Amino acid sequence: MPQLNSTEVFVSDGQKEKLECHVLVIYVGGTIGMMKNAEGVYAPSSGTMVAKMRSDPKLHDHSYMTKRNEIETAHPYPTLVLPEVHRMRRIVYSVYEYDPLIDSCNVTSSHWDKIATDIYKNYEFYDGFVVLHGTDTLSYTASALSFMLENLGKSVVITGSQIPIYETRTDGSDNFIGSLIIAGNFTIPEVTVFFHNKLMRGNRTIKFSSNTLDAFTSPNAAELVTLGTEIIANYALMNYDEIFCYVNMDKFTIQTRLNENVGLLRIFPNISLHLVKSFLHSEMDGIVLETYGSGNFISNRKDLIVEIKNAVKRGVIVVNCTQCYTGKVHSNYATGQILSSVGVLCGYDMTSEAALTKLSYVLTKNEWSLEKKKEMFCTVLRGEMSTERIKTDKDNINLMDVLGSSLGLSSKREVMELSNTIFPALVTNAVVKEDISQLDTLKSCGANLNAPNYDHRTALHVACCEGSITMINYLLHNGCLLHVKDRNGRTPLAEAVLHDHHEVIKFLRKCGAHFVGCLKYIGEELCSAAAQGLVERLESYYLAGIDLNSPDRSGRTAFHMAVITNNIKVVEYLLSREVAPKVQDRFGQTALENAESLRNTDILKLLSP
């Protein structure tokens, strides 16, 4: 099932508060934030979104923010708090508004570059991201970002609305709140679109209606999550395979500056040779042909076929996509084989938006040969097209169906609930024993290696706790998620830190694992480790990328505590890591002044020039 993100915090009176998650909202523009101008038409309204949100009790919990006023200084953008949602983590969200705001009709690839870059810059500081965007080109942006964000491990949700969020009757509030819930509480490592209570893979969506609130659909792929009276993740109750986990051991990165020499050419009756020639001019690097039915082309127009053939010979990548709402390109008809015979690539069941942006992405890879680019276009990169998989005998094994039948379970939901209870225990047992063959068997029986136990701990949490790089490597290569947090807000990286598995920490860091930024409790953890003389723990935090100068709530650092408790070994270690001994706490005291007042002569010698 989807994995909950969380960060443990405390309110100002010291009482334990509900776990939090932090979301960055990138407000690009669009109808969702528009207001009527002097002419009575909707237009972008800069600088009003955050103020309006603060005054809306559905979008901002003022009383919670008052208790947690330190949140405001923890993020570089205006920060708000979503009112409590039943069974969900408390969502703290920051709003980054573009200046100027961009109408979706005016969006270009340069704007995609900016969105991707802003996500990259803020990636380590937030649990998830929401992009507020106009609806007209939203599917193009979602498709483009799905390719541009490489090795993505967090949720990126794009949404908008058909009616501005400030209107009395609006779909904007539901779309925005639903997007925040998903981006903050679930780790779905994809670029998705949330609209009208449905979460869809971004590169499988199209806008199919200009005037209904249910404006987007995913014609050739199932919805990922549905929000109703309760949140139901389709891949937990029906088909885990619907979530596309990008299997790569590299850190998150981005590809910007997509190739702009691409275009869409819709085939229609009586299309002229002049038009086709003009479109296939020498500056074009890629073309998406929108053909009839299952990829059929005009078979009696030899002149057009010759032009397309010549373009392919010049190195232009030409792709065949269907004009139809659903279905895919195949060669059941002679008219469908014409294009493939002259070197046109099959677009399968990709949307035109996905095919165009994927073509732009592939053509940007200058390190690839032309043949490599064609090969990668025909490869599933981000779940953008369906593939046929050859079934084996193992696919017929359904352990939970057999067990459910023996227990008298009748509904599919009951069987899935049983599966979500038993499989995590079996997977955990295999991980502890480092039994890869058993894990392979469990996978063939339908086990989800990302499935959590009651405490939301996954197999990767357990492997990091055990310190097994072999298991960690196996799980990551099988799509397990780095940034999932358990009930206590701990990621797999945090587990490795708390058990001082230094080699595991280094391995996870190379794969892109990190602590989410602006964590207030880190200072307390460092001070506690210093007071107890836990040099190995301090080294663990250091290897995990934590600043050893991070203060606790009194402004004291680990160095202050090492001096106060007279832990010589800790002081020596911290000095070797070049910490700042002259940092002042909230009382204006430095560690050096603490040593002087306590007359710690041995430490004073270490601190002397």
Cα distances (angstroms) measured from residue 461 to each of 206, 424, 480, 494: 37, 12, 10, 9
DSSP 3-state of 110: helix
CB-count burial class (<10 Å; 0-12, 13-18, 19+) for 294:
middle
Q: DSSP letter at 82? A: P
DSSP 3-state of 291: strand
What distance in Å separates the CA atoms of residue 474 and residue 431, rounded to the nearest whole number?
Answer: 10
Helix (H) or strand (E) holding 96, with range, is: strand 90-97
What distance in Å separates the CA atoms of residue 194 and residue 174, rounded to the nearest whole number?
Answer: 10
Which residue in the block uniquely carries the two structure tokens 């961009």? 102
24 touches 93 (CB < 8 A): yes
What distance in Å separates the CA atoms of residue 464 and residue 474, rounded to the nearest whole number?
Answer: 12
Determine the Cα angle at 244 with ends 242 and 245, to 5°.
135
205 touches 380 (CB < 8 A): no
> Residue 10: beta bridge partners?
16
What distance in Å separates the CA atoms of residue 607 and residue 471, rounded to the nearest whole number?
Answer: 44
> Which residue numbers are catalytic?
31
Helix (H) or strand (E) holding 149, with range, is: strand 149-150
> Residue 320: beta bridge partners?
289, 346
Helix axes 109-122, 138-148, angle to 10 degrees: 50
558 touches 534 (CB < 8 A): no
